[in-house]
Amino acid sequence: MVSQESLSGVIERNRYSYHLSEVIRQRAWVEIDLSALSHNVVQIKQLLSPKTALMAVVKADAYGHGAIAVAQTVLEAGANALAVATLGEGIELREAGITAPILILGAINTPEEIAAIAHWNIEPTLCDPQQAIIFSQTLSQWEKPLSVHLKLDTGMSRLGMPWHQGTEFASLVKKLPYLKLNSVYSHLATADDPDRTNMYLQHKRFKTAISQLKAQGVKPPRLHFANSAATLIAPQLHYDLVRVGLGLYGLYPAPHLRSIVSLKPVLQVKAKITQIKTIPANTGVSYGYQFVSDRPMKIAVVGIGYADGVPRQLSNRLQVLIKGQRACQIGAITMDQLMLDVSHLRHLKVGDTVTLIGQDGNQEITANHWATMLGTISWEILCGFKHRLPRIKKKSAQLTSEVKI
């Protein structure tokens, strides 16, 4: 006979869900505020004239924010088109039912990729004549025209035809069958620098190349040049559309741009305390004993580590937020866990939330803070959070559902 106590235990256990979608949020996660994302789109569009469209850059899984949910949100908020880096990223959006124009910023060179682009109605970037010829020859098998964008290298020294050869390149593309010129564009290398000399030099080259194109009877339907930084500071570079990435996600390309527009960070990184204990003085913490306690300390173990995207180089430098207060990380950050000195914090318990990036009370830690300590850029920090951290949508301070990653 089953005792009443055992029966109660079975009933209690049945209250819980054992599905992956429920348990994965019990350790660590990335929280995405879609309302902040919409706010940023509106703020950026207010900087644009009515004739200038907004292309939202959602490459690299929308800078780690979750490409599908981000793409859907920015389009609903007023973005006109999307940009990705790879063919796979574009197909992922199409398979999710997104029909907006999608530009691939990277180079496509094989017939197999070209066929997939044509099938999914995605728009490629053409960078040199040989690539354009391969596109035309491949498309001839289906007798299907494809909208293409020509990229000129005006000083980035990355993808693109040298700007002074732009006329020959565009004239070739115009003559090739099955290629329909959609736009000509270039990319800025130093728009976030307070010294705008190089930005203006690139712009001069771009204007010269476009003038030469038009003189030869090649009139591009659209031009685009501005990235996030140039969108904020240089209306004369807006042209027919702007390509905005970092600004959408609530971060500024450089500190001196903060006063131009009010942006809200979209991403927060959170984890839970998994154990609390007290260690005596002269006790080593974590691998290699990079930290040794100088007094009895209360420490908290947190379920997140460098395999989740918390750089090991932040060991003994990282600060986190707990209940609106700061706590210092101690010892080497390990693959799946890290330790905190919480001696000054009272009433902590296992399961309490730790904010690594984000706001808690009046305190805030941003991706820029991490980037400054590491001597890198916030772009790299955002893109570094691994996919074993679920992306959770945040609405009105409530965790609601997962973002497809």
Q: DSSP secondary structure string, 250-290?
A: T--SSGGGTTTS-----EEEEEEEEEEEEE-TT-EESGGGS
Rounded to whole angstroms, the Cα distance separating 269 from 76 reads 25
Rounded distance, CA 160 to CA 187, Å?
9
Domain 34-251 sits in CATH 1.20.1440.230: no
Residue 328 clears pLDDT 80, i.e. is over it: yes
Mean predicted confidence (pLDDT) in 259-271: 97
Residue 272 pairs with which residues in a beta bridge? 353
Is the pLDDT at 9 greater than 90? The verdict is no
**Which pLDDT tens digit goes with each residue over 170-192?**
999 999 999 999 999 999 999 99
- Check pLDDT > 50 for residue 405: no
Q: Categorize the per-residue pLDDT at 14 as very low, low, confident or very high, splitting at 50, 70 and 90.
A: low
* Placement of tokens 């400054």 in the chain: 372
For 309-336, what is the mean pLDDT? 98
pLDDT band at 10 (very low <50, low <70, confident <90, very high): very low
Question: Would you list the domain boundaries of the chain?
Answer: 34-251, 267-365
Helices (H), 78-186: 87-95, 111-120, 129-139, 166-175
Structure tokens, 258: 């903060």
Percent of the chain residues past pLDDT 90, beyond the cut = 89
pLDDT at 142: 83
In this structure, which topology does domain 267-365 adopt according to CATH?
Answer: Lyase, Ornithine Decarboxylase; Chain A, domain 1 (2.40.37)
69-95 average pLDDT score:
98
Q: Are 268 and 29 in contact (CB under 8 A)?
A: no
- What is the mean predicted confidence (pLDDT) over 141-162? 95
Q: Per the annotation, does 346 bind a ligand?
A: no
Mean pLDDT of 70-84: 98
User: What is the separation of C-alpha 14 from the centre of its chain, rounded to a whole number of angstroms?
Assistant: 39
Percentage above 70 pLDDT, the chain: 91
What mean pLDDT comes out for the span 295-300?
98
Q: Is the pLDDT of residue 17 over 70?
A: no
Mean pLDDT across the chain: 93
Is 249 annotated as catalytic?
Answer: no
Q: Is 156 annotated as a binding residue?
A: no
Name which of 240, 344, 231, 331 is nearest 297 in CA terms: 344
Active site (annotated) includes residue 289: no
Residue 1 predicted with pLDDT over 60: no
Q: What confidence tier does 224 reach under pLDDT thresholds 50, 70, 90?
A: very high
Q: Name the active-site residue from 204, 277, 287, 404.
A: 287
pLDDT at 400: 39
Q: Does the fold of domain 267-365 match that of domain 34-251?
A: no
